[in-house]
Structure 1
Amino acid sequence: MEYRFVGRSGLMVSEIAYGNWITHGSQIEADAARACVRAALDAGITTFDTADMYADTRAESVLGEALHGERRQGLEILTKVYFPTGPGRNDRGLSRKHVLESIDGSLRRLRTDYVDIYQAHRFDKFTPLEETMEAFADVVRAGKALYIGVSEWTAEQIHAAAALARELRLPLISSQPQYNAIWRVPESAVMPAGDEEGLGLFAWSPMAQGVLTGKYVPGQQRPAGARGADPANDMFMGHLLKDELLERVMLLKPLAAEAGLTLAQLAIAWVLHNPSVSAAIVGASRPEQIVENVAASGQKLDEELVRRIDEALAPVIVKDPALTESYDQRP
């Protein structure tokens, strides 16, 4: 495993991070989740990403239990706040009330005194940014988080937050957008903004929800048990499972073979090839997936191979910066 700094901060993370969106507390049982976390630790992963709303807060609890007893100083734990965690109108968003109450709930579930990076899961247009940043500053001053990050914020929102962070002397160090060889949305605006403000990028979905692993074959039924086989996931994956896109993914197979990599490893190595990226966040439902993914760490792709990947995927690459995710969750 290789390690990288998060932006211009002094914090180092494993360049492959383990994320438990969808899996822990929902898709797989607790024993399997613990086995995956154990495999991640054994493979050198020290960075773990979760969120309070994953599996209705259960994902944080499962991760906290799986990491319990590990040397806390040897881990980097990231969690997020914004989406609903209860029925009340204040159980969501980035108000001072929700931020300060949510960090305590996350720490309790994660069985730790602090998180390394506390992230705003989305931008809250219903709360003044000053209120949100001041609440985050109080979380840091209370020792409940060491650093602050954002997820799926636009370039303009990142610049505005960074300006306030400087005034408050708040360590805003990271941005977490979706990023992979198909979804290039962050490249034109979000990445340059992050680079300018000194933020490191945590890329979620580096394998495009598993599509870039080659498990979904054009014209064939989706494999049983796979994420894409569940109709409930079509809102996240439907656009990725069209035959035109899957046919383009099949063109990557010989490129991966030439590089001595699996398709999954090629997808992760492609993300890590970008110098703006601090870590690629991978999930897993089986320990052997972790072992395969970690083998992508340290793999260097030459520019000709990167060009050929771009050429193979060109017709299905998504770049429009207007697609940076936005949610209107509060009334």
Structure 2
Amino acid sequence: MELRQLGTTGMRVSELGLGTMTWGRDTDEIDAAEQFRDFLDAGGTLIDTSASYADGASEEVVGSLLTEVRREDVVICTKAGVRSTSRGNMLDASRGAVLGSLDASLQRLGTDHVDLFLVQNPDPRTPLEETLSALQRAVDSGRARYVGLSNHAAWQQARAATLLEQAGLELAAVEMEYSLLERGVEREVVPAALALGSGLVAWSPLGRGVLTGKYRRTIPADSRAASTHLSGFVQPYLDQESSAIVEAVAIAAEGLGRSVLEVSLAWLRARPGVSSALVGARTPGQLRTSLAALDLELPPEVGAALDEVSAPATGYPERR
């Protein structure tokens, strides 16, 4: 597996990352361990988790597996900024919440530092300056090697990069949803990341599972779309517009003798600025299917055709 530079930093990450959102809930420890080993055997290094995934259970599973490898052989990314309360999850990127979340994450992961620490979502009630002071403290204390943002707008990226630079740090990464079904980041986020030197880590590169092609005819009983707690996550891409894109990918896949999933991942891996694409497989078999896509490079004419059929709507000021 290719190792790519994370933006303009000295960190290198695998072109596919292992997403663990389902670990500790839909993926048990046995299947998680098999995924972990298969991923590392394929040359993968980036393991992505969050304090909010399965209320911390995902980090606990990751932590149990870190005992099987040398710590320096893996790149651990975790996130803070979503706090569990008696009334449900709430955004909280205050200094105390972010640093407290990091301490709890390190305990669950069984390590003294994470390689990449991200703020998971914007918190409109907390000044960005306060949130960034927490990220600076995380690096200064040795608890995080690099920091970044997830699901933030381009102006927030630019402001964060400016403030971090004043502290002698860089905005190492931005983690955003990006796939053939969600290309909104191309309007401002990707150009900002390229200009600022931030690596782009793409989550849900398979369109929340829709770009596997399994929803073309029906909703499988064992799929996320049929799950009580994940159906709402998939539903936005079960519309006519997304279906038309999936069918175009299916035509391209048939012509290449590959699967819809493989073509979708190959398209994303070739996009400018993408350092890593996070594959959040529920089962070991699903992960192996994604790993099989690593040898595919799309012919230019196929890539151009998919660009055209999935092009995001643009307007002023991106286009005049």
TM range (shorter): over 0.9
Partners of 2:89 and 2:250 in 1: CA distance: 48
Question: 1:20 — aligned with what?
Answer: 20
Please give the secondary structure, in 1, of the residue aligned with 2:229.
helix
Please give the secondary structure, in 1, of the residue aligned with 2:195.
helix
Residues 209, 234 of structure 2: 8 Å contact kept: no
Deviation at 1:82, TM superposition (A): 0.5
Choose the corresponding residue for 1:254, options 251, 256, 270: 251
Does residue 292 in structure 1 map to residue 283 in structure 2? no
**Amino acid in the other structure paired with 2:4:** R
Summarize the Cα distance change of 1:209–1:90 in structure 2 as closer, same or farther, 3 Å threshold.
closer
Summarize the Cα distance change of 1:190–1:244 in structure 2 as closer, same or farther, 3 Å threshold.
closer
Partners of 1:79 and 1:160 in 2: CA distance: 22
Summarize the Cα distance change of 1:90–1:209 in structure 2 as closer, same or farther, 3 Å threshold.
closer
Residues 249, 313 of structure 1: 8 Å contact kept: no
Residues 249, 264 of structure 2: 8 Å contact kept: no
* Number of residue equivalences: 316
Question: 1:74 — aligned with what?
Answer: 73
From the two aligned structures, give the one with the greater strand fraction. 2
Equivalent positions of 1:84-233 (< 5 A) are: 84-87=83-86, 93-218=92-217, 220=218, 222-233=219-230
**Amino acid in the other structure paired with 2:184:** V
**Amino acid in the other structure paired with 1:32:** D
Summarize the Cα distance change of 1:298–1:3 in structure 2 as closer, same or farther, 3 Å threshold.
farther
Does residue 309 in structure 1 map to residue 320 in structure 2? no
Q: What's the % identity of the aligned pairs?
A: 37
Q: Deviations over 1:51-85 (max 9, x none)?
A: 00011111111111122231111110000001113
Please give the secondary structure, in 2, of the residue aligned with 1:300.
coil
**Amino acid in the other structure paired with 1:207:** L
Question: 2:43 — aligned with what?
Answer: 44
Partners of 1:223 and 1:269 in 2: CA distance: 25
Question: 1:327 — aligned with what?
Answer: none
Equivalent positions of 1:320-331 (< 5 A) are: none
Summarize the Cα distance change of 1:60–1:244 in structure 2 as closer, same or farther, 3 Å threshold.
same
Question: 2:233 — aligned with what?
Answer: 236
Partners of 1:104 and 1:247 in 2: CA distance: 45
Deviates more, 1:180-189 or 1:260-269: 260-269
Deviation at 1:92, TM superposition (A): 5.0
Deviation at 1:39, TM superposition (A): 1.4
**Amino acid in the other structure paired with 2:239:** K
Question: 2:4 — aligned with what?
Answer: 4
Please give the secondary structure, in 1, of the residue aligned with 2:148.
strand
Deviation at 1:90, TM superposition (A): 12
Please give the secondary structure, in 1, of the residue aligned with 2:207.
coil
Residues 60, 106 of structure 1: 8 Å contact kept: yes
Partners of 2:203 and 2:314 in 1: CA distance: 16
Does residue 268 in structure 1 map to residue 265 in structure 2? yes
Q: Which runs of 5+ in 2 are unaligned?
A: none
Q: Deviations over 1:211-261 (max 9, x none)?
A: 11110124x3x1111111124323222121135532541232231133343
Residues 112, 143 of structure 2: 8 Å contact kept: yes
Please give the secondary structure, in 1, of the residue aligned with 2:173.
strand
Partners of 2:117 and 2:225 in 1: CA distance: 30
Residues 64, 110 of structure 1: 8 Å contact kept: yes
Q: Which runs of 5+ in 1 are unaligned?
A: 322-331
Partners of 2:199 and 2:191 in 1: CA distance: 11
Summarize the Cα distance change of 1:252–1:164 in structure 2 as closer, same or farther, 3 Å threshold.
same
Summarize the Cα distance change of 1:243–1:189 in structure 2 as closer, same or farther, 3 Å threshold.
closer
Deviates more, 1:159-168 or 1:125-134: 125-134
Q: Deviations over 1:159-183 (max 9, x none)?
A: 1000100111123210011000110
Partners of 2:144 and 2:58 in 1: CA distance: 19
Partners of 2:175 and 2:291 in 1: CA distance: 20
